[in-house]
Amino acid sequence: MKLFLDTANLADIEMALQKGFITGITTNPSLMAKEPKGNYIDHMKKIVELIDKYSNPISLSVEVFAQDKEEIIIQAEELIGEIQYENLSIKVPIGWEELEAIYRLSIEGISVNCTCIFSEAQCMLATNAGARYISIFGNRVKELRGSFTQIIGATRKWLDMNNITKTEIIMGSIRSDIDIVDAQLAGAHIVTAGLPHYIKMSEHPGTTASVDQFMTDFEEWLT
């Protein structure tokens, strides 16, 4: 399973890229709202500069700020033209009008990350409309008394049964490292999470105790 970083924070992005474990970055309007005010396109270009500095061209998803299908397409084309990044995906929320935008963008060869997904049915619609990624809001599903593992599992089974390889499942809305493990076991291709979750995943009391013991034993041997 691939690990994406869910943030618009440049410092977090740089730190994660330096560690070498992420294969993609996802952003959204709420994440952008946490950053200092400025030009949206310029901020995305700074992310691209960091990717170019530390990594191969990993996936980058940026979201449109529109609901009208024609405006979605206009914004998507502008983002593609302005950011000029070969592995860019445009995030479009699932919806009846939005499906046409996803379809038309995919025909143009623009990669679409269909987001705000809460059901298996939405996954099927987005996939058939041409989405490259289908992003399930894991813990928001749980808040509505649903099961994100069921949605992921059923969708992955449907994709595999129909030999659909062009579309990958992204699990977002991560609240704990256990969510990441559960998403993997359910069949998600990708998890996207904030940097604190990955830092926590790297830590374990057993690891700390073992390293401390190694250092103590070696220092005793030296003396």
pLDDT (tens digit, 9 = 90+) per residue, 45-60? 999 999 999 988 999 9
Q: What is the largest CA-CA distance in the chain?
A: 74
Contact 32, 13 (CB under 8 A): no
- The answer for residues whose C-beta is within 8 angstroms of residue 45's C-beta and 6 or more apart is 82, 83
What's the token pair of residue 152?
């992921």
Average pLDDT over residues 31-49: 95
Phi, psi (deg, nearest 5) at residue 128: -70, -25
Catalytic pick from 19, 46, 53, 91?
Answer: 91
What are the tokens at 10?
A: 């440049």
Residue 42: HSE in the Cβ half-sphere, 13 Å Cα cutoff: 5
Determine the pLDDT at residue 88.
98
Q: What tokens does 30 get?
A: 């709420």
Helix extents (H) in the chain: 10-19, 29-32, 40-54, 69-83, 96-107, 120-129, 138-143, 148-161, 177-186, 195-201, 205-222
What CA–CA distance (Å, rounded) separates 151 from 115? 14
Q: Is the pLDDT of residue 93 over 90?
A: yes
Q: Is a pLDDT exceeding 90 seen at residue 165?
A: yes
Q: Dihedral (C-alpha) 131, 133, 134, 136: value to the nearest 10 degrees?
A: -160
Q: Is residue 81 pLDDT above 90, yes or no?
A: yes
The answer to whether 2 is a known catalytic residue is no
The pLDDT, as a whole number, for residue 55 is 83
Domains and CATH numbers, the chain: 2-222 (3.20.20.70)
Are 193 and 5 in contact by the 8 Å Cβ rule? The answer is yes
Predicted pLDDT at 31: 95
